[in-house]
Amino acid sequence: MVIEEKKILNRLKRTEGQIRGVQKMIEDEKECIDVITQLSAIRSSIDRVMGMIVADNLKNCFEHPAENPAEQAKKLEQAINMIIKK
């Protein structure tokens, strides 16, 4: 998971920068539409990170199944519920 972990952390760092940018926009009294546009981009970025984490979890479940089938089914159900929860 080293590559995926690095991608996730990089995306989160970019998102953190976007949030700081929005804070500055608000301090500078930028137009509402510009702030909302940036907030929408932040939301998309966070959604993408969540998808990456859930996908990695699902991949891990299939590559390294739990010894207990009931536990495996529970993990898969949790991951699926996280995806469709939107």
Please report, for the domain that includes residue 76, its CATH number.
Answer: 1.20.58.1000
Residue 39's nearest CA partner among 54, 53, 20 is 20
DSSP secondary structure letter of residue 29 = T
Segments forming the whole domain that contains residue 47: 2-84
Q: What is the pLDDT of residue 19?
A: 97
Encode the chain (86 residues) as per-residue pLDDT tens digits.
Answer: 566 889 999 999 999 999 999 999 999 999 999 999 999 999 999 999 988 888 888 888 788 887 888 888 888 888 788 777 75
Single-letter amino acid code for the residue at 45: S
pTM: 0.75
Residue 57's nearest CA partner among 82, 24, 27, 21 is 82
Computed over its alpha carbons, how large is the radius of gyration of the chain? Answer: 17
Number of domains in the chain: 1
Q: What is the pLDDT of residue 13?
A: 96
